[in-house]
Every structure is written in structure tokens, then in C-alpha cells.
Amino acid sequence: MTETRTRTRVVPEAPPRGAEDEKILRYRPGQRYVHLLVATSFTVLFLSGLPLLWEPLSFLAAGGYSRIIHRVAAVAFMAVPILYFIVDREGAKELLADSFRFDRDDLRWLASMGRYFLGNASDMPPQGRLNAGQKLHHAAVMILSAGVVISGLLLWFWDASLSDSMLAWSLVIHNITMGALVLLLIGHVYFTVVYKAIHSMHTGYIPKSRAQIEHPKWVEEIESKRAANGANEQKTLHREKQPPK
Amino acid sequence: MSSAFLLDLAQCIGCEGCVVACNTGNDVPDGAQYIAISEQVRGTFPDLAGGVANHRCYHCADAACVSVCPTGALYRDDGLTRVDASACSGCAYCVGSCPYDVPVMVDGVATKCDGCRDVVSAGGVPWCVETCPSDALRFGPREEIAAEAHARAAAHRGEKYPDAQVYGERQAGGLGVLVVAPEDPETLGLPADPKIPLPTTAWQEVVKPGGFYITSASVLIAGLAGVIARRNHAREMAQLEADHAANAAPTDDNGEVTS
């Protein structure tokens, strides 16, 4: 009995799946391009930093060639937050606000995260637009990125400001924060693969039935906004474009 | 067979001839200086003591700069620590690692004394040795230099430096510069036990290997758990699908399909 109730709450009146499944806008184009820029610049930064950590690749670093690439990518990486605020101010503010605010459901979600880790998305405590794991991920990425950027800038302009020991510590901090970001990336890719989530970052849309399972409070929020805005405006609110078939 | 320098600080008169010869002979880049001489005056008048401290690369056998260099721009050769500027990546790991505070970055490239590699391979002696007017510097096979150092220390002890000693035979695996110190080497700025700085040790011993293992383990765990999780999730989705199908049919209070 309890089992049935839980399930009904998680999937309330689930719409038919398949071709007629309604699609909800999850990532606006600006958000997708900013994400692409983060992904690309981070990958380039990782690969161009690797020659200083892994001897077999060290020939790439000789003469400072990988350093030039590293610095170009670093500028792109540092431009991300600025760019995000330019192309999608609301989205950026929403990300900042959501990532550091945890409610009771989030804490309960984190407590049972082991189940989610092993591929069980239903029967988890109901989540909003971001689940608690995503919030933690985003918060950690923001804080660690600040660490990697600050230590990186110190290294870049070291000769003016740093003592030898400060320089050496900056290197260690730069590498530790980058290592932590790589671990987060492994987790990010892991959940993307387990829940086949790449689609929404590619097209921008998520099937409503899917959102219903993992982000029921978000779907609820969207629907109540739609209801408040009236039937005529609903198309412009969350469905600016026709979702791709 | 390896080479070594002899640096006799009891003989050094602090003229800085070696500094000038090194700078001009090696075409040392602006902003760098491979040798620095500082004259010391200790005590209060009239009880004064003095000495000449010499800041230079001591060519450690267990060289921290060589061990942290990721590109091999710093390397050991003929008992000395060489620099291949063209291989330098500009990472500056060496700058923070040297217990003698020797390598510096100039225009994004590490530079330091390379024992006048080109001059020596052409049959000459390093510029500083060539120039020294007071016989404080010599260059030659390490055994000969060591023997000379001990002979000089003994001679100095017999004259006016009772504490004269040889410095550099055990420090950092043995230095490529054997110093004849007229007194306690520490007073001349030579550490009895040159320490590799904490961040370098932390990086080499803990962070780098630890990071490698943690990252490898994460990838491994993600791979294994991913297989299980994908299967679980597929099962879960199939279950939900079945539930939808069941929900589409009229149900009684117990969730049983009635028709």
C-alpha cells in the first residue's frame, strides 16, 4: 500500500510516453552554449596542463607551447561567468541561487543518494529544477573554479608578486583544485551516462515524463506558473519554440 | 667519472671577478645572475669577524630541481646539473623546490648555472674558475677536487682557521661544488642539512601520487558502478512503464486492475 502511494506521488498521472510525450524546455540556447564553452575550455585546460604532470606527454610542454594553449583556454574559462550573465542573466542568477540553497527534501535526497548512484531515480525524495547532487556539484565547481583561477592567475603573473614558497604553494593548490574538478567531472559524466541525460543538453528539451521522475517539484512549479499565466500565454512561457520531434 | 668545482671561501677575497666573468662569458639573461657574492661583517668594533658568502648553484646529486622538472629541461650530467632552456616549459616548479634558492625565471624560462657546459666540452674551464685571481675556485675530476679540498682544509686549520672544514660531501647526495669553509658553513649561509621546501615535498610525495591513485580509482569505480546503475535504471524504467500501462486501466483501492 505504502509502496503504491509513493509511486503515485512520484509519477502523478504520468503522460503517455513516446512520440506524444510533451517536452519541457530545460536549457535555453544561451545556457547550452555557455555549457559548451565550459566543457571545451576545461577539456583544453586539462589536456594542456597534463604534460606538466605526466612525463610521457612532457615533450608537448617543452618550449612553452602547451602554455600558450593553456592560457588561451584559461581566458575562455574565466570568461564563462561573465558570458553567462550577458547571454542569460536570469539563468545565471537562478544557478547561483539554486546551487547554494538546500531544503529538507534535498537533505533527505542526499541521505539516500547511494540508491540514486546505483541507477534508482524513482522513489527518491522529490526534487526541484536541480537535484541535491547537482546543487552540490555546481556549488563545488564554482568554489573550486575560483580556487583554480586565482592560483592560476598568481602563477601567470607570479614574478611581480610571489615569493618562491608562495609560488610553490600556488602550484600545489592549482593542481589540487584541478584534481578535484576532474573528479567532479568524472561524476558528472557518470550520471549523464547512467541516466542518458546528454539529450537535454543537446536539444534543450527534456520529456515531461522524465522530468516528472527526477524533478517533480520543478514540473509542478512550471505547471502552476502556466496556470497563473493563463492558457494563452503558456506557449510563450516555457515553450518558446516548438520542441524538436 | 664526474666533475666538480672547488670553492675555497678562505681564499676568496670577494672581488666579484667570477660574477662579472660569468655574466659576460655566459651571456646570462638580464634579470638573472648565476653567482652572487656577499661580504659579511660580524660582531661589534673592535671585535670584528668577517667572511665572504657565495650564492650559486651547488649542483646537488639528489637535485630537487631535476626531480620536479616535468620536461627534463633540468638534468644531471657529468656530476653537474645542466639546463636545456629549449626544453623548459616555464612551469617554475624548480624555482620553488631548490633548497639553495637558485633557479630563477627570466621571460618565462628557468635559468641557472649549468657549469659552463659548452666551455668545458670545448676543453676549457668554467668562466668563474678561469677568472678567479685568488685561487679560490678550481674545476676538475671530482676525486682530485675532493682531495684538494681536504688538503686545503687541513692547511687552513694549521694556519688561521682552526674550524676549517669541507662542506658538500654529504649534503643533498653530495654537491658538485665542494666548499672549503674557514668556519661553520652555516654562518656563511650554507645549510648543514639543505631542506627541500614543504610544498615540493607535499607535491612529490603526497599530492601527485595520491591524485593519480584517487583519479584512477574513481574512473574504475565509475566504470563498474556504471554498468550496475545502467542495468538498475533500465529495470526501473521498464517497471514504471508497466505501472503506467496498469494505471491506464481502471484500478481498485489496492491498485489491482479490476477489469
- B207-220 tens-digit pLDDT: 889 999 999 999 99
Q: Would you state the cell numbers that stand for residue A165, as one nine-digit string?
A: 614558497
Q: Is the pLDDT of residue B257 over 60?
A: no
Residues spanned by the domain of A155 = 24-238
What ipTM score was computed for the predicted complex, to two decimals?
Answer: 0.77
Q: Tell whether A149 is covered by a domain.
A: yes
A168 with B199: Cβ contact below 8 A: yes
The answer to whether residues B138 and B65 touch, using CB atoms and an 8 Å cutoff, is: no
Each residue's pLDDT tens digit, A152-167: 998 888 655 677 778 8
- Write the residue in A55, A121, A172 that is nearest to B233 by C-beta: A121
**pLDDT for residue A244:** 55
* Separation between Cα atoms, residue A58 and residue B73, nearest integer Å: 10
Q: Tell whether A10 is covered by a domain.
A: no
Residues 6 or more apart whose CB falls under 8 angstroms from that of B3 comprise B78, B79, B80, B115, B120, B139, B140, B141, B142, B145, B176
**pLDDT for residue B197:** 84
**pTM for this predicted structure:** 0.78
Cα-to-chain-centroid distance, residue B245: 69
Q: Is the pLDDT of residue A105 over 60?
A: yes
Give the architecture (CATH level 2) of B3-194. Answer: 2-Layer Sandwich (3.30)
**pLDDT for residue B259:** 43
B96 with A168: Cβ contact below 8 A: yes
**pLDDT for residue B252:** 52
Q: Is the pLDDT of residue A7 over 70?
A: no
Q: Confirm or reject contact between B216 and chain A (CB < 8 A).
A: no
Kindly indicate the confidence band of residue B137, based on its pLDDT and cuts at 50, 70 and 90. Answer: very high
B86 with A4: Cβ contact below 8 A: no
CATH code for the domain in which residue A59 is found: 1.20.950.20
Q: Which range has the worst mean pLDDT, A58-62, A226-230, A241-245, B204-208? A: A241-245
Q: Is the pLDDT of residue A236 over 60?
A: no
Higher pLDDT, B211 or A20: B211
Residues 141-180 of B with CB under 8 A from A: none
**pLDDT for residue B241:** 85
Higher pLDDT, B107 or B194: B194
B218 with A186: Cβ contact below 8 A: yes
Q: How far is CA B244 from CA A121, A127, A181, B219, in A?
A: 16, 21, 40, 36
- Write the residue in A66, A119, A158 that is nearest to B236 by C-beta: A119
The answer to whether residues B71 and A61 touch, using CB atoms and an 8 Å cutoff, is: yes
**pLDDT for residue A54:** 82
The answer to whether residues B25 and B67 touch, using CB atoms and an 8 Å cutoff, is: no
Where do the structural domains in chain B lie, given as residue ranges? 3-194, 197-250
Q: What percent of chain B has pLDDT over 70?
A: 95
Q: Tell whether A73 is covered by a domain.
A: yes
- Chain A residue at shortest CA distance from B97: A168
Q: For B50, phi and psi rounded to 5 degrees?
A: -150, 170
**pLDDT for residue B172:** 92
* Separation between Cα atoms, residue B100 and residue B78, nearest integer Å: 20
DSSP SS3 for B49: strand
Higher pLDDT, B1 or B253: B1
Contact list, B200 vs chain A (CB under 8 Å): 168
The answer to whether residues B89 and B68 touch, using CB atoms and an 8 Å cutoff, is: no
* Separation between Cα atoms, residue A210 and residue B83, nearest integer Å: 60
Q: Which of B65, B84, B88, B91 to mutate to test the interface with A (most CBs of A within 10 A)?
A: B91
Q: Is the pLDDT of residue B96 over 90?
A: no
Q: How far is CA A156 from CA A41, A44, A46, A71, in A?
A: 17, 17, 16, 9
Strands (E), chain B: 3-8, 36-42, 49-55, 74-77, 80-83, 104-106, 109-111, 137-141, 165-167, 177-181
**Total domain count, chain A:** 1
Residues 6 or more apart whose CB falls under 8 angstroms from that of B142 comprise B2, B3, B4, B79, B176
Q: Which range has the worst mean pLDDT, A166-180, A229-243, B213-227? A: A229-243
Q: How far is CA A225 from CA A174, A237, B209, in A?
A: 44, 9, 52
* Separation between Cα atoms, residue A173 and residue A75, nearest integer Å: 19
**What's the mean pLDDT when you consider all of chain B?**
89
Contact list, B89 vs chain A (CB under 8 Å): 51-52, 58, 61-64, 66-67
Contact list, A52 vs chain B (CB under 8 Å): 70-71, 89, 91, 93
**pLDDT for residue B256:** 52
Higher pLDDT, B255 or B88: B88
**pLDDT for residue A9:** 42
Q: Is the pLDDT of residue A214 over 80?
A: yes
- Say if strands B3-8 and B177-181 run parallel, antiparallel, or are unpaired: parallel
Q: Tell whether A2 is covered by a domain.
A: no
B88 with A62: Cβ contact below 8 A: yes
DSSP count for chain A of H helices, then E strands? 12, 2
Q: Confirm or reject contact between B72 and chain A (CB < 8 A).
A: yes
Q: Confirm or reject contact between B226 and chain A (CB < 8 A).
A: yes
Higher pLDDT, B195 or A233: B195
Q: Tell whether A198 is covered by a domain.
A: yes
Q: Tell whether A187 is covered by a domain.
A: yes
- Write the residue in B86, B229, B255 that is nearest to A118 by C-beta: B229
Contact list, B244 vs chain A (CB under 8 Å): 11, 14, 16-17
Q: Tell whether A36 is covered by a domain.
A: yes
Q: How far is CA A230 from CA A69, A224, A236, A237, A238, in A?
A: 51, 10, 11, 10, 13
B72 with A167: Cβ contact below 8 A: no
- Write the residue in A14, A61, A183 that is nearest to B70 by C-beta: A61
Kindly indicate the confidence band of residue A234, based on its pLDDT and cuts at 50, 70 and 90. Answer: very low
Mean pLDDT across the stretch A61-85? 91
**pLDDT for residue A15:** 47
Kindly indicate the confidence band of residue A148, based on its pLDDT and cuts at 50, 70 and 90. Answer: very high
Q: Is the pLDDT of residue B250 over 50?
A: yes
* Separation between Cα atoms, residue A108 and residue A164, nearest integer Å: 47
Q: How far is CA A123 from CA A7, A109, B8, in A?
A: 7, 10, 79
Q: Tell whether A19 is covered by a domain.
A: no
- Write the residue in B96, B229, B244 that is nearest to A17 by C-beta: B244
- Write the residue in B98, B222, B232 that is nearest to A120 by C-beta: B232
**What's the mean pLDDT when you consider all of chain A?**
84
